[in-house]
Structure formats: structure tokens, C-alpha cells
A and B are shown apart, each in its own frame.
Chain A
């Protein structure tokens, strides 16, 4: 018996209901008790497919050259799922740098989508994922200007690795500098990681941005990062990604320390 060949993985990703969203909270970690600042919307592909692993899905999408289409679909899925996020909490969604370069209509698209789901654009943070050097700088920066003009804040993801380097940071001047978990996880025990983090904190300060530490997995790292002047963070120690948006601005993992004083 021969079975019919199913549609391609891309077809499954772009189909209605193909994508799901998990929310990872980002906390203010500067005070005695962490308080919710934002949620990062993490996209996952169809259940049971290779695209359920985010790193496989986005590697596949880039190889297919379909970043624009999939970024649109991920943004729609994320915004639709974000309706229950508490009103004071920002919503952070990811986008490829190549999408900002190729898609001149990205800003009106986001604006329409936010309108549809009743989310003010001022709550949106766009995390730029730099997998390759953007090609047409003029178009890329025109899109960035349009996004900022609409009130959307910009973050650069994976700082310290790949193309998320000093040149990128100086040129984009993001509102948020997201330090890669490579430096953050275990930083309390690695003086060289802390030295790299310190240099990013200093650069962010000078450029007028805030630093978000991504990948906080222990209380010791949380304390070390606070000592370095970092005020925003996310990671498994603070909260696990969840399909349900956090409902409370103070929600915090119960098995973690509840106070930092």
C-alpha cells in the first residue's frame, strides 16, 4: 500500500493553526521582588513536525528564503495569543533582520494586526534576530524609522554572538540590548563572561538603552547580574515559557527565591 505524500513542512507552518505561541516572562530584577515587565512570544511549528523545535524551524525557513512569510505568520499568531497579557506588560516578538530589509509593508502590517487584536503599538517590542548581515542598509533603516515612528521599541537579540556585534548595536541603537544566554547562564562563576556583560552594560548605558539578560538559570547568576547593574532579565530560574500568558504582574516561579533583598 502506498501512502499519499503530505504537504511540505512550510505549508504546515503557514497553515491556519500551524503555529503556536509560548510566552516567556521578562522581569524587572532590580528591586527586592521581581516584577513582570514584558513577555517574549516564542513561536513553535506544527506539533509532531521537525518545526516544533524552534531552532530547526527557523533554520529551515531561512534556507527556504521564506523569512518574510513566516515572520508575518508568527507575528499574527503571537499577537492573537497576547490578548490575555496584562495591560501594563510589554509584548516582545521576534523578526529577522532580512524581513525588515525586504518587506516595506512590515510596519503597516504590524499596525493593522495590533489594531485587530486591540493592542497599542506602544506595548510592542520588536526583537531583531540577526542571522546574516542585512544587504540593503537604506531599506533596513527606513523600516526601523517607520517602526519607531509608530511607537514600537526595538531590541537586538543574541548580543555577543554572530552578527549581533558592536557595529550592529551602534548602528541600530536599540532600546533593549538582549545578552545571549552564552554569557548569562553560569555568569556568577565565569569572570570572563561577566567582563563581556559589563562591556555591553556600559555600551547600552552610553547609547541610552536597557539591558535584558537572557538565560538566567540560578539565583547566584541573578545576583551577579544585578551586581553588574542589569535591571531586566528572563530565564528558567525566573519563569518557564508557557502557552498561557501570565495573568499577574507579580507572577514568579514558586520554587525560586521570592525575594532578593
Chain B
């Protein structure tokens, strides 16, 4: 089931794993979102600087060296686009990292695997309360 968005929200998905990225893109596009995607931190930063997003969904671990590039994305959004909501997705979320994400301003922190409709519902809630 797809949780449809009532408006055309602009979304950035930052995920280096092709299967997960494909699934997120497909789900949110079908729900009416305008979805861009990035696989690398620098690609995500370039999109955030040049595009206004309502929401960014970022995987915690991208193929960089820090293993918490999702938090770098979060920091970058907070600095460049304060009105944009950020959802962090992870399969490795320790309580410490979760706490860091909250302190940095993550709107939600979701453990993988979370079913797509649950991610969709969480995202829509965040957007509607904005």
C-alpha cells in the first residue's frame, strides 16, 4: 500500500545501496513525490545547495570513510536549508548514534528494515506537521 502525498513534495533520497534506493524512489514517486537521489555525500551536498527540498531521507552509512555519512548529510542540511526535514535510515543504529542524530536535528530515525508504507506514513506526518 502506498501512502499518497496530497501535495507535490520535493524529496532527496541519499542511499548508496542500489536495491534500497530503487525501492525508495519507486515507492515515493508512485506516492506523488518528486524524488531526486544521490549515492555519495558530495552528490547529495551538490543537490542540496542547488535545490530546495521539503524532505531528505538519508542512509546512515554511505560508501565513505566515516561510516556515519548520513549524519554529515544531516549537518549539511541544517546549515544550508533549515526548513528541510531529515529522516535517517540505518541498519546499524546504536543508541549513541541515534542520540547524535536527534541532537543534530533529525526529524526521525528509522531502523532498517522498516516497511516502505511505515516510512511513507512517517514522512507524510513530518511534512504535514511542518
Contact = CB atoms under 8 A, between A and B. Distances in A.
Given A56-B46, A59-B49, A63-B45, A5 B18 contact: yes
B16 A55 contact: no
B87 to A, nearest CB: 20
B52 to A, nearest CB: 13
Interface stretch (B25-33, B35-43, B92-100, B121-129): B35-43
Contacts of A60: 42-43, 45-46
Contacts of A50: 36, 38, 43, 46-47
Interface residues of A, number: 17
A64 B38 CA distance: 14
A64 B50 contact: no
Contacts, number: 43
Given A56-B50, A59-B49, A9 B22 contact: no
A1 B19 contact: yes
A43 B36 CA distance: 21
Interface in A1-27: 1-6, 8-9
Interface string A50-78: 10010111011001100000000000000
B118 interface: no
Contacts of B16: 5
B18 A2 contact: yes
Contacts of A63: 42, 45-46
The 6 A-B residue pairs with the shortest CB-CB distance, nearest first, are A59-B46, A60-B46, A63-B42, A3-B18, A2-B19, A56-B46
Interface of B: 16-19, 22, 36, 38-40, 42-43, 45-47, 49-51, 63
18 contacts: A2-B19, A3-B18, A3-B19, A5-B17, A5-B39, A5-B63, A6-B39, A9-B40, A50-B43, A50-B46, A50-B47, A53-B50, A56-B47, A56-B51, A59-B45, A60-B43, A60-B46, A63-B45
